[in-house]
């Protein structure tokens, strides 16, 4: 008998496990993946974390290694709680669960400080969230910090912290079902190394991710076409935690037909590749245009900063003929393209004229594509100054869809185009929980001994997502879930 069993091995699971151990509980973590693939979706991320901060003093508290010189050449701005609330409301069409949203925003700063105090290191996102203008880096989109070493660095750091805390991490251990009776959850049935056993526990925390790697569930809940979508992260997030909870009467919550999905290299593998990590993503589309197979534009590439649109544009790409699109850029903006455009495993064509370029776009109507690009060039409002650090209002006139910001004529060779499809990150549907991370049953009563955290929680995101919120949600609610599970277990003890 252990006090707390945590099902999962990513950021949310580790936050829960460490929090529980700090309350004095004995903790076992069940990681379905073998050790070489451990870490869930967290290991595939770039490590960005969105949190509310009031200025440089908060950033220095989080990143004590920041030098005076780095601060002098960086405009970090601020990201007060009201802006975080505004972003969560605006991007989810004001459907986000108000209590969970408040928990996320209000606890974001103290949770990152807690992570730092435990040994997780952070750094400014100079390479992806700030452009050098006038000799200074200006951060934009409310996103300023990332975990050192990205997703792999985060999992490595959490593993080190967990082992130091005496947490028993079991790899290749798949949770099959919850052991429960009228008094609540009593443990987990586990299969490891071909043998099935019962692991009894006073509390269980489910932090096993969504169902994005489950083809059948994707088709059932997300709809037609999603069975062929690429999965950005781990192949092990098949909804096991969700199924286990629903089987004992837990209540579903959130948008089960919704997900976080991005532009992803068209020829990426079926699941994430740890040797590439997040490199298959293609997020610099605000500085170019996207064409579908009919040679048409189909979204406003400059509607907002990319970290406010990227999580919904994957769905838009999936809806196009052939589930594909090409992102087109010219030489003027090449220096603004993120590092992911420079990896070796990239689907790319280039040419010295637009006429030649469109002829190389596999699967695209070249005549229509050239007409679209010509019309786009004619519609760019060149009288407005281009500025990648702000929503500059440099748009187009008379186009449908418009391009609202960062519109530049495609007129400086060489021209480049990158083939993308939809890359599915995580699903939005999940379990209904309290603000103490207790899982609720279909009568809205807490299921004794059962808690949840991370992607498995439903109700926070609908249709869209503010970039960097996922890891923060996992850490915030994971910490709460672990602490509550430990206190419940120690009370039973």
CATH fold of the domain at 2-212+428-492:
FAD/NAD(P)-binding domain (3.50.50)
Q: Is the dihedral of CA 198, 199, 204, 205 positive or negative?
A: negative
CATH of 261-423, one of 3.90.700.10, 3.40.50.150, 3.40.50.2020, 3.20.20.70: 3.90.700.10
**Dist CA 7 CA 23 (whole Å):** 18
**2-212+428-492 and 261-423 agree in CATH topology:** no
The pLDDT of residue 228: 96
Per-residue pLDDT at 128: 86
Return the domain boundaries, the chain. 2-212+428-492, 261-423
Which pLDDT belongs to residue 89?
98
Q: Which residue stretches of the chain have pLDDT < 70?
A: none
CA distance 53 to 50: 9
| pLDDT tens-place string over residues 150-196 | 999 999 999 999 999 999 999 999 999 999 999 999 999 999 999 99
Please choose, from the candidates 283, 289, 281, 284, the residue with its C-alpha nearest in 3D space to the C-alpha of residue 357.
289
Give me the pLDDT at residue 133, please.
78
Give the C-alpha separation, 14 to 12, whole Å: 6
pLDDT for residue 326: 98
Residues 6+ apart with CB under 8 A from 35: 171, 172
pLDDT the model gives residue 127: 79
Which residues, 6+ apart, have CB-to-CB distance to 394 below 8 Å?
Answer: 380, 381, 384, 385, 386, 387, 405, 406, 407, 408
């Amino acid at each position: 008998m252990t006090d707390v069993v945590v099902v999962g091995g990513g950021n949310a699971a580790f936050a829960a496990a460490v929090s529980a151990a700090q309350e004095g509980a004995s903790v076992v973590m069940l990681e379905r993946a073998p050790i070489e693939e451990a870490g869930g979706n967290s290991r595939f991320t770039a490590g960005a974390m969105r949190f509310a901060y009031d200025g440089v003093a908060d950033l220095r508290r989080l990143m004590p290694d920041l030098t005076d010189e780095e601060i002098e050449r960086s405009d970090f701005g601020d990201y007060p709680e009201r802006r975080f609330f505004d972003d969560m409301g605006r991007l989810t069409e004001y459907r986000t669960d108000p209590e969970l949203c408040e928990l996320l925003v209000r606890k974001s700063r103290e949770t990152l400080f807690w992570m730092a105090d435990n040994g997780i290191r952070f750094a400014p996102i100079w390479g992806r969230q700030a452009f050098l203008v006038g000799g200074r880096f200006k951060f934009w989109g409310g996103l300023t910090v990332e975990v050192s070493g990205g997703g792999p660095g985060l999992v490595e750091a959490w593993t080190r912290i967990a082992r130091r805390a005496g947490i028993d991490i079991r790899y290749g251990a798949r949770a099959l079902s919850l052991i429960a009776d009228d008094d609540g959850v009593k443990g987990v049935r586990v299969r490891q190394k071909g043998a099935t056993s019962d692991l009894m526990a006073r509390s269980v925390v489910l932090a096993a991710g969504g169902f994005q790697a489950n083809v059948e569930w994707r088709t059932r809940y997300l709809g037609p076409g999603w069975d062929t979508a690429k999965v950005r992260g781990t192949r092990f997030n098949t909804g096991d935690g969700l199924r286990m909870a629903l089987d004992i009467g837990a209540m579903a919550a959130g948008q089960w037909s919704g997900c976080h999905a991005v532009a992803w290299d068209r020829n990426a593998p079926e699941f994430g590749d740890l040797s590439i990590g997040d490199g298959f993503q293609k997020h610099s589309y605000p500085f170019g245009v996207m064409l579908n197979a009919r040679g048409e534009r189909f979204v406003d590439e400059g509607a907002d900063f990319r970290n406010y649109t990227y999580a919904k544009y994957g769905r838009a790409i999936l809806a196009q003929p052939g589930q594909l699109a090409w992102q087109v850029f010219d030489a003027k903006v090449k220096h603004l393209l993120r590092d992911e455009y420079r990896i070796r495993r990239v689907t790319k064509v280039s040419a010295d004229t637009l006429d030649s370029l469109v002829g190389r776009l596999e699967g695209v109507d070249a005549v229509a594509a050239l007409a679209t690009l010509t019309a786009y060039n004619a519609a760019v409002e060149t009288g407005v100054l281009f500025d990648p650090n702000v929503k500059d209002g440099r748009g187009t006139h008379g186009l449908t869809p418009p391009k609202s910001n960062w519109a530049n004529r495609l007129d400086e060779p060489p021209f480049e185009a990158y083939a993308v499809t939809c890359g599915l990150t995580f699903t939005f549907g999940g379990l209904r929980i309290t603000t103490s991370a207790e899982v609720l049953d279909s009568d809205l009563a807490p299921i004794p001994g059962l808690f949840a955290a991370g992607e498995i929680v439903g109700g926070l995101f609908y249709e869209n997502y503010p970039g960097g919120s996922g890891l923060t949600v996992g850490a915030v609610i994971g910490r709460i879930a672990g602490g509550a599970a430990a206190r419940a277990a120690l009370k039973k003890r």
